[in-house]
């Protein structure tokens, strides 16, 4: 029942922080996974670092800590790096590829030097050496670049282990709140779906009765009978579209969250957001249907770019968005469903857009 938390970092420069975090995670009744504590099973004849990657795949969360050391060489080095791909960086990629939540922490002193690195990138690219005080390898900065380009990845700075523990305490509490909220939302969705099913059933029953009565009483009044049938059909169709709008609404607000938008007009913001998602869906859907498999990160980038075209920035996105993407695509291309969806998003705006702090 205990969530497994993998601690990923270089060892010698951060071993005391790793020890402190291991104690903290245990105090939260979670299970820390650290190679130095013997929590990883190694397979004879297989590269040692591969056992770390395999162990990570069974974890529920990853805490990534970046200090001044780039770390030891991974056995997988076909990425064309000027120097090499480190084990820690490979662990991060393994977590992302397996959709494991990652919380990234960067040493504040290293992050300051990261800014210096970017201000002098043209000099560094000309192979003119620049010495950094707290960082031993420019690939540390390239690693940070990769973190910053990953959509939905929370990145924090720290000076001491206590900073990391404080942030994790808040994040754990927030995750519990979101879980409890999801249970409540799930119950609301089930109630709505049950209500719609009862409405649908009642309308079908009414439809059948009118067919019988209409056949007897209005056999000679075809115009009246057609009108009644048409109104009932429209009512049934409206109920089904409302249901699709509710399902699409919940899919969106669970899997996409936005930073606060400067425009205070909620209706305009929702219109821009939906037009961006429609555009992204028209790019993504053909790829999914053609390839059968999909690259979450590639699709995230498509959505992010479509949002950016309307000056909207995503704070987080979840791969669950793509599980039933055909249904989302169909809903977004039905004008009646989109109109209902707009009203829902405007009425529940704070579930889509982060509040300004």
DSSP string, 101-143: -EEEEEEHHHHHHHHHHHHTHHHHHTT-----SS-S-THHHHH
Mean pLDDT of 149-165: 91
pLDDT tens-digit series, residues 200-256? 777 777 777 666 665 655 555 555 555 555 555 556 677 777 888 888 888 888 888
Mean pLDDT of 279-299: 79
| In contact, 245 and 340? CB cutoff 8 Å | yes
pLDDT at site 264? 77
pLDDT of residue 129 exceeding 80: no
Least confident span in 51-65, 99-113, 229-243: 229-243
pLDDT at site 230? 57
User: Mean pLDDT in the chain?
Assistant: 83
Q: Tell me the three state secondary structure of residue 351.
A: helix
pLDDT of residue 357 exceeding 70: no
**Beta partners for residue 32, in sequence order:** 5
pLDDT at site 347? 87
pLDDT at site 79? 53
Q: Which two tokens stand for residue 276?
A: 């961006």
Task: Please give the model's pTM, rounded to 2 decimal places.
Answer: 0.55
pLDDT tens-digit series, residues 300-340? 888 889 988 888 888 778 777 877 778 888 888 888 888 88
| In contact, 8 and 88? CB cutoff 8 Å | yes
Question: How would you class 264 by CB atoms within 10 Å of its CB: exposed for 0-12, middle for 13-18, buried for 19 or more?
Answer: exposed
pLDDT at site 124? 72
Q: Please give the full DSSP string across 307-334, using - where no structure is assigned.
A: HHTTT--EEEE-GGGGTTHHHHHHHHT-
Rounded distance between C-alpha atoms, residue 38 and residue 44, angstroms: 15
Mean pLDDT of 56-66: 93
Rounded distance between C-alpha atoms, residue 316 and residue 85, angstroms: 27
pLDDT of residue 167 exceeding 70: yes
pLDDT at site 43? 76
Question: How would you class 21 by CB atoms within 10 Å of its CB: exposed for 0-12, middle for 13-18, buried for 19 or more?
Answer: buried
């Amino acid at each position: 029942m205990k969530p497994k938390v993998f601690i990923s970092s270089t060892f010698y420069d951060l071993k005391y922080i790793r020890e402190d975090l291991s104690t903290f995670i245990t105090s939260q009744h979670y299970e820390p996974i650290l190679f130095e504590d013997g929590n990883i099973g190694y397979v004879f004849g297989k590269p040692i670092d591969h056992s770390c990657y395999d162990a990570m795949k069974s974890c529920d969360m990853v805490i990534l800590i970046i200090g001044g050391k780039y770390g030891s060489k991974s056995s997988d080095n076909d990425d064309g790096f000027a120097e090499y791909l480190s084990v820690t960086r490979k662990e991060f990629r393994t977590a992302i590829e397996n959709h494991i939540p990652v919380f990234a922490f960067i040493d504040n002193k290293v992050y300051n030097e990261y800014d210096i690195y970017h201000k002098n990138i043209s000099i560094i690219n000309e192979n003119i050496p620049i010495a950094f005080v707290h960082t031993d390898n420019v690939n540390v900065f390239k690693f940070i670049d990769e973190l910053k380009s990953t959509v939905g990845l929370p990145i924090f700075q720290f000076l001491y282990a206590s900073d990391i523990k404080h942030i994790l305490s808040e994040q754990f509490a927030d995750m519990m709140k979101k879980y409890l909220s999801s249970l409540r939302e799930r119950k609301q969705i089930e109630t709505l779906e049950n209500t719609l099913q009862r409405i649908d059933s009642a309308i079908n029953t009414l439809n059948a009765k009118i067919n019988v009565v209409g056949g007897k009483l209005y056999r000679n009044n075809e115009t009246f009978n057609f009108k009644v049938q048409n109104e009932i059909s429209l009512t049934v169709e409206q109920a089904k579209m409302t249901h699709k709008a509710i399902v699409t609404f919940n899919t969106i607000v669970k899997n996409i969250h936005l930073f606060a938008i400067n425009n205070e007009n909620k209706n305009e913001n929702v219109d821009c957001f939906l037009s961006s998602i429609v555009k992204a869906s028209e790019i993504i859907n053909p790829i999914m249907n053609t390839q059968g498999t999909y690259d979450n990160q590639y699709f995230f980038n498509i959505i992010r770019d479509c949002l950016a075209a309307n000056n909207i920035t995503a704070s987080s996105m979840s791969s669950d968005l793509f599980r039933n993407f055909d249904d989302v695509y169909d809903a977004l291309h039905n004008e009646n469903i989109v109109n209902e969806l707009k009203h829902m998003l405007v009425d529940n705006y704070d579930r889509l857009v982060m509040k300004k702090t």
